[in-house]
């Protein structure tokens, strides 16, 4: 979508003119009939509320759109909600050019960037494989023209656009089918998108991981024809020699459950079991695009979990890169096996200041929190508070859960150092306790269980049904407030 800026208060010719209403009423300069129509329709400038009419403008009838952006107590950005509402209404249906009157609301550059962020995020579509769309279903909106743009608007939007690009990339990875996105092609797409940004990419293949003793990650992969990969993306934008913050993503590009196979109904959803890795990849793209002043590393453990004659069996014992052994009682509890080796690799190769992992790890998290928050586990209170704040600021909300030895003992195995699952109760907590066993030297670490958050069954404020891009804005906000401050 093309976005242009003009300091002129006079809007150019467009199919529709959007007027942002951030105060309590419509501008006094409007025709009284328009004001009366809005009043009759009971239009209120609540965030995202729209009223549409037709009125003469510059000698011709114009589609006028009033969209609310009045601040509300629980709205992080009413302007973002306004932009998202415009995209939801006019993305399809014939409107090709939309003019936005930024001057009417006395809008700042930051508020305008928020409006365009909401608009472009809500406009994201993935129609690559849809060949029989009706005309009214096809995207028509091609250009947004901002008139009366305040000083600094283009600079503010340039930075915000990097974040939008990162979220969009995550949605793309999560949405693609598993015959298109698998470990090797995930890596290829990341290399392609990060090319020219200044980010450095390293890839470990199965032979290299086998030499390092990564028996847990490779154990998950051994039932698939698709080879596993460990993807490492480095952005060195901070002080030379400063320890990096490392984000680790679970990247199970399709999860059949392995020998502990999942029920057929709903198994198609498991293409997005790489949502944690997708979030890390999208965040690294956003950070590189906006030239973040921080040293950040993104690591993705990429596997496909499939059942065949070589697949892990329930009761197999595997040896992790850390040297600890694991009795695998359920091959569908595979994400923690992928992450534990990735976490060990990070600690031995990156000298991290802190580690945050993101994973669509447990269905128990959906039972606990529904679809409103991701789960947060941490061995460090400061890190937990920083992530919680980043979640509030970004809109990618988190809720903290406990870690304690009482839960840890539920993973004890009679034959190995640990089991990969505990009992049914506290399933998300025991998964986090498992991962904590691989954190060395009290390195600050947090685990984000985002099983409910990466895919939506109904539209949200800034996304349609499907991939949400959850995690990218959270990471970006955290890096801004903690790593760049």
Question: DSSP readout, 363-406?
Answer: HHHHHHHTTS-EEEEES-HHHHHHHHHHHHHHS--EEE----HH
Contacts of 310 (CB under 8 A, 6+ apart): 222, 223
pLDDT of residue 95: 95
pLDDT higher than threshold 90 for residue 73: no
What's the rounded mean pLDDT across residues 251-280?
98
Matching CATH topology for 2-151 and 161-483?
no
Fold of 161-483: Aminopeptidase (3.40.630)
What's the rounded mean pLDDT across residues 424-440?
97
When mean pLDDT is compared across 64-68, 120-124, 228-232, 242-246, the lowest value belongs to 64-68
pLDDT of residue 104: 67
pLDDT above 70 covers a percentage of the chain that reads: 98
Q: Is 437 a catalytic residue?
A: no
Q: What are phi and psi of 348, to 5 degrees?
A: -90, -15
> What secondary structure letter does DSSP report for 149?
P
> From CA 141, how far away is CA 123, in angstroms rounded?
9
pLDDT of residue 206: 98
pLDDT of residue 269: 96
> From CA 132, how far away is CA 138, in angstroms rounded?
10
pLDDT of residue 115: 97
pLDDT band at 25 (very low <50, low <70, confident <90, very high): confident
Q: Which of 229, 271, 336, 473 is catalytic?
A: 336
Contacts of 442 (CB under 8 A, 6+ apart): 379
What's the rounded mean pLDDT across residues 272-301?
98
Q: For residue range 396-405, what is the model confidence (pLDDT) as tens digits? A: 999 999 999 9
The answer to whether the CB of 163 falls within 8 A of the CB of 472 is yes
pLDDT of residue 57: 72
What's the rounded mean pLDDT across residues 412-436?
97
pLDDT of residue 105: 67
Tell me the sheet residues that pair with 5. 146
pLDDT of residue 102: 84
353-368 burial by CB neighbour count: b if 16+ within 10 A, else e?
bbbbbbbbbbebbbeb
Extended beta strands in 275-349, E state: 295-305, 316-319, 325-328
What's the rounded mean pLDDT across residues 196-207?
98
The answer to whether the CB of 277 falls within 8 A of the CB of 250 is yes
Fold of 2-151: 3.40.220
Q: What is the mean pLDDT of the chain?
A: 95
pTM: 0.97
What's the rounded mean pLDDT across residues 291-302?
98
Q: Is 262 a catalytic residue?
A: yes
pLDDT higher than threshold 60 for residue 75: no
pLDDT of residue 107: 85
pLDDT higher than threshold 80 for residue 295: yes
pLDDT band at 60 (very low <50, low <70, confident <90, very high): confident
Q: Which of 35, 189, 210, 262 is catalytic?
A: 262
374-400 burial by CB neighbour count: b if 16+ within 10 A, else e?
bbbbbbeeebbebbbebbebbbbbbeb
Q: For residue range 383-417, what is the model confidence (pLDDT) as tens digits? A: 999 999 999 999 999 999 999 999 999 999 999 99
pLDDT of residue 74: 63
pLDDT of residue 23: 81
Q: Compare 350 and 74 and report the one with higher pLDDT.
A: 350
Identify which of 356, 358, 344, 361 has the alpha carbon closest to the alpha carbon of residue 429. 361
pLDDT of residue 24: 73
What's the rounded mean pLDDT across residues 457-481?
97
pLDDT of residue 32: 84
pLDDT of residue 120: 98
Q: For residue range 91-105, what is the model confidence (pLDDT) as tens digits? A: 999 999 999 998 766
* Strands of the 325-328 sheet, one edge to the other: 316-319, 325-328, 418-419
Residue spans per domain, the chain: 2-151, 161-483
């Amino acid at each position: 979508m093309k976005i242009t800026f003009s300091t002129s208060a006079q809007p150019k010719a467009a199919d529709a003119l959007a007027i942002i209403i951030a105060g309590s009423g419509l501008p006094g300069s409007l025709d009284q009939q328009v004001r009366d129509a809005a009043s009759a329709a009971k239009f209120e400038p609540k965030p995202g509320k729209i009223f549409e009419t037709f009125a003469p403008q510059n000698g011709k009838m114009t589609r006028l759109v009033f969209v609310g952006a009045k601040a509300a107590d629980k709205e992080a950005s009413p302007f973002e909600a306004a932009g998202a509402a415009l995209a939801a209404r006019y993305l399809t249906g014939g409107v090709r050019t939309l003019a936005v009157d930024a001057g009417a609301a006395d809008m700042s550059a930051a508020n305008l960037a928020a409006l365009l962020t909401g608009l472009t995020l809500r406009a994201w579509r993935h129609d690559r494989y849809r060949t029989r769309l009706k005309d009214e279903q096809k995207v028509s909106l091609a250009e947004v023209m901002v008139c009366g743009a305040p000083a600094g608007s283009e600079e503010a939007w340039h930075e915000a656009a990097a974040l939008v690009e990162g979220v969009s990339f995550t949605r793309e990875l999560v949405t693609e089918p598993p015959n298109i996105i698998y470990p090797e092609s995930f890596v290829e797409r990341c290399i392609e998108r990060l090319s020219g940004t200044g980010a450095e990419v390293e890839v470990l293949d199965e032979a290299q991981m086998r030499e390092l003793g990564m028996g847990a990650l490779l154990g998950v992969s051994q039932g698939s024809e698709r080879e596993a990969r460990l993807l490492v993306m480095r952005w060195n934008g901070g002080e030379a020699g400063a320890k990096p913050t490392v984000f680790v993503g679970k990247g199970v590009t399709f999860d059949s459950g392995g020998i502990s196979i999942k029920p057929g109904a709903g198994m198609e959803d498991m293409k997005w079991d790489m949502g944690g890795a997708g979030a890390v990849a999208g965040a690294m793209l956003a950070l590189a695009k906006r030239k973040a002043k921080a040293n950040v590393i993104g690591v993705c453990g990429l596997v496909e979990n499939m059942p065949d004659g070589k697949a892990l069996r329930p009761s197999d014992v595997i040896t992790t890169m850390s040297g600890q052994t694991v009795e695998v009682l359920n091959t569908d509890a595979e994400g923690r096996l992928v992450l534990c080796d990735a976490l060990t690799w990070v600690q031995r190769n990156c000298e991290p200041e802190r580690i945050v992992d993101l994973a669509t790890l447990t269905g128990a998290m959906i039972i606990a929190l529904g679809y409103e928050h991701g789960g947060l586990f941490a061995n460090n209170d400061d890190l937990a508070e920083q992530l919680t704040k980043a979640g509030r600021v970004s809109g990618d909300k988190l809720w903290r859960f406990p870690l304690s030895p009482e839960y840890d003992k539920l993973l004890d195995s009679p034959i190995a150092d640990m089991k990969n699952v505990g009992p049914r109760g506290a399933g998300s907590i025991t998964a986090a306790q498992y991962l904590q066993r691989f954190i060395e030297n009290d390195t600050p670490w947090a685990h984000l269980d985002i099983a409910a958050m990466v895919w939506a069954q109904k539209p949200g404020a800034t996304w349609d049904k499907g991939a949400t891009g959850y995690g990218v804005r959270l990471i970006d906000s955290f890096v801004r407030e903690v790593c760049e401050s």
